[in-house]
C-alpha cells in the first residue's frame, strides 16, 4: 500500500465525506456521465437508508434532456425523501430536475430558468426526419407537463417558457410554486 503524503493526511476526500452526509451535486452540464454518477449515488444512498433525506445541490445551466429525465425518474423511483437546493442557477434541464424534489429550496442570490427544448432533425430521409420531429414534440410535451404538475406557473409563464426564456428570482419562484423555501 502506498504511503500517504502529508497533504492527504490533512485533507479528507471532500466528495466522499459529503456523499456520506447524503449530499449530491449537479454543478456542471447534465450529460450521460453526470447522470450515471447521480443515479448511482441516489440508488446507493437509498439502499443504505431509504428513510433518510438526500439533498441534491444544483448549480447548472442544464444539459441533455434524456439524461435529466433519467435523473428525475430515479428521484421518483427511490424511497428516500429528496430535497433539491438551487445554489447559483438551475436553468433548462437543471430547472426541470429542481422541481422534482419532495422539498425544494433556493438560496437568495440564485436564479431559475425554463425554456423550449433544443433539438433538431436533419440529414436523413424525409420520413425519418418527420418521425424524429414527432418524437421531439412528445418529449417537449413531457417537459411542459412536468412544469404544469410540479409548479404553479400560469398559462402566460408556461407560454414564455415554451417560446422564450422564463427567468425567475427566488421570490418569484416562491410565488409560482417552484420552491417551497428561500434560504
Which alpha helices (H) appear in the chain, and where do they start and end?
6-10, 14-20, 32-48, 65-77, 93-98, 126-150, 155-163, 170-175
Give me the pLDDT at residue 5, please: 59
Residue 107 φ then ψ, to 5° = -75, 155
CA distance 106 to 109: 8
Positions of the chain with pLDDT under 70 = 1-9, 120-123
92 catalytic per annotation:
yes
pLDDT at 79: 98
Per-residue buried b or exposed e for 29-60, using 16+ beta carbons within 10 Å of the residue's own CB: bbeeebbeebbebbeebbeeeeeeebbbbbbb
Q: Identify the CATH assignment for 6-182 out of 3.40.1280.30, 3.40.50.1820, 3.30.360.10, 3.90.226.10.
A: 3.90.226.10
Instruction: Using alpha carbons, select from 115, 129, 112, 94 the residue that is nearest to residue 171.
Output: 112
**Looking at residue 74, what is its pLDDT?**
98
Report the pLDDT value the prediction gives residue 52, as an integer from 0 to 100: 98
Which of the residues 80, 92, 98, 110 is marked catalytic?
Answer: 92
Active-site residue flag, 89:
no
| pLDDT value of residue 94 | 98
pLDDT of 136 reads 87
Query: 60, 80, 89, 115: which one is catalytic?
Result: 115
Domain residue ranges in the chain: 6-182
- pTM score of the predicted model: 0.89
Amino acid at each position: 500500500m502506498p504511503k500517504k503524503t502529508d497533504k492527504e493526511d490533512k485533507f479528507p476526500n471532500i466528495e466522499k465525506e459529503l456523499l456520506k452526509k447524503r449530499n449530491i451535486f449537479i454543478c456542471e452540464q447534465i450529460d450521460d456521465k453526470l447522470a450515471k454518477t447521480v443515479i448511482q449515488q441516489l440508488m446507493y444512498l437509498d439502499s443504505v437508508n431509504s428513510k433518510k433525506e438526500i439533498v441534491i445541490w444544483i448549480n447548472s445551466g442544464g444539459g441533455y434532456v434524456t439524461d435529466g429525465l433519467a435523473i428525475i425518474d430515479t428521484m421518483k423511483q427511490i424511497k428516500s425523501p429528496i430535497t433539491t437546493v438551487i445554489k447559483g442557477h438551475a436553468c433548462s434541464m437543471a430547472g426541470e430536475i429542481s422541481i422534482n424534489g419532495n422539498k425544494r429550496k433556493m438560496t437568495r442570490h440564485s436564479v431559475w430558468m425554463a425554456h423550449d427544448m433544443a433539438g433538431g432533425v436533419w440529414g436523413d430521409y424525409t420520413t425519418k426526419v418527420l418521425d424524429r420531429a414527432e418524437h421531439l414534440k412528445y418529449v417537449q410535451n413531457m417537459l411542459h407537463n412536468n412544469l404544469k404538475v410540479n409548479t404553479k406557473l400560469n398559462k402566460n409563464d408556461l407560454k414564455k417558457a415554451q417560446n422564450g426564456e422564463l427567468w425567475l428570482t427566488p421570490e418569484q419562484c416562491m410565488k409560482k410554486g417552484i420552491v417551497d423555501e428561500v434560504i
